[in-house]
Amino acid sequence: MTAPFKVGTSNPQLRAKIRARCVACRTESAAEVALCPRCAKPNELYCAGCLRAVERPDDSMGAHCAHCAAVAWSVGASLRARVLAELGTPESSARDVAALRARFASLAAQFSLPARVTAFIAPAAPKWELVPASHRAALRTRFDEVMIADAQVRREVESAMRGTINFDTRIAAACDAADAARATLVEWDGMLVEVRDQARLEAALAIYAESIRSARQMLERLKERDLSRALDLDAARARALVAFKA
């Protein structure tokens, strides 16, 4: 992505623009044809993009137009700057996505909460007729407190579960999308040869930014709002039960 531009570097789209023409009669041939099929004079290579003559290379990279390569590199510069601002370096963006996955994996350990809660046994009311009349009112108040704590934690956990439906697959999908967009941007050679490449890279950049943003947002919701609140209430319920039995 940030590899310095080298004249010897040639991208397939730049190579595809190279054609051959006869130095005498201008008859066109495929790039690999060395002699004019009409007058047998030597063919010269030229760029179909800017019509400049191109040197026939002796390396295996194939001919490309240095002028169009320089233009493609300079047109790509502003997009490269945006990619760098949005992703950072290829290494730092890989770390960003890996950190999101790791954070999700550590939070996922707390997903045992709904399973635990669905296994809750409702607090059992004492047999009131067996409770001495003198204790009945006080015990009833304490039992009401237990029932309130129990109802609260059930409600909170149900809402946490509703609000976080499929978070695991959605966060994984967002990280996968960010990784795929990142791969596209990192593999880019830094040149903008065609308008449709610009559109493709802009789309990848938007997908990367949006995927990271939404994965972070889901992680925040998962952590801050739902689970920590449910855990607090779970602890309150446990305390109420212990206090009632004491």
CA neighbours closer than 13 Å in the CB half-sphere of residue 234: 19
Q: According to CB under 5 A, which one of 18, 31, 45, 65 is a site residue for Zn ion?
A: 65
Q: According to CB under 5 A, which one of 18, 20, 31, 36 is a site residue for Zn ion?
A: 36
Contacts made by residues 93-101, CB under 8 angstroms, sequence distance 24+ = 93/182, 93/186, 93/208, 94/182, 96/212, 97/175, 97/178, 97/179, 97/182, 97/212, 100/171, 100/174, 100/175, 100/178, 100/212, 100/215, 100/216, 100/219, 101/172, 101/175
Piece in contact with Zn ion (CB under 5 A), picked from 28-36, 75-83, 87-95, 209-217: 28-36
Helices (H), the chain: 12-16, 66-87, 90-108, 112-118, 133-163, 167-187, 195-220, 228-245
Piece in contact with Zn ion (CB under 5 A), picked from 30-38, 114-122, 165-173, 218-226: 30-38
Q: According to CB under 5 A, which one of 18, 22, 222, 230 is a site residue for Zn ion?
A: 22
If one asks whether residue 205 binds Zn ion (CB under 5 A), the answer comes out as no
CA distance linking residue 154 with residue 159, whole number of Å: 9
Nearer to Zn ion, 50 or 61 (CB): 50
If one asks whether residue 39 binds Zn ion (CB under 5 A), the answer comes out as yes
Residues 67-106 that bind Zn ion (CB under 5 A): 67-68
If one asks whether residue 29 binds Zn ion (CB under 5 A), the answer comes out as no
222, with CB counted inside 10 A (0-12, 13-18, 19+), is buried
Q: For residues 211 and 178, is the Cβ–Cβ distance under 8 A?
A: yes
Q: According to CB under 5 A, which one of 32, 34, 35, 50 is a site residue for Zn ion?
A: 50
Residue 102 identity? A
Backbone phi and psi for residue 54, each to the nearest 5 degrees, phi listed first? -125, 140
Piece in contact with Zn ion (CB under 5 A), picked from 43-51, 120-128, 155-163, 178-186: 43-51
If one asks whether residue 27 binds Zn ion (CB under 5 A), the answer comes out as yes
Nearer to Zn ion, 67 or 200 (CB): 67
If one asks whether residue 47 binds Zn ion (CB under 5 A), the answer comes out as yes
Q: Minimum CB separation from Zn ion for residue 77, in Å? A: 18
Q: Minimum CB separation from Zn ion for residue 74, in Å? A: 13
Nearer to Zn ion, 43 or 164 (CB): 43
Number of residues this chain uses to bind Zn ion (CB under 5 A): 14
User: What is the contact surface with Zn ion in residues (CB under 5 A)?
Assistant: 22, 24-25, 27, 36, 38-39, 41, 47, 49-50, 65, 67-68
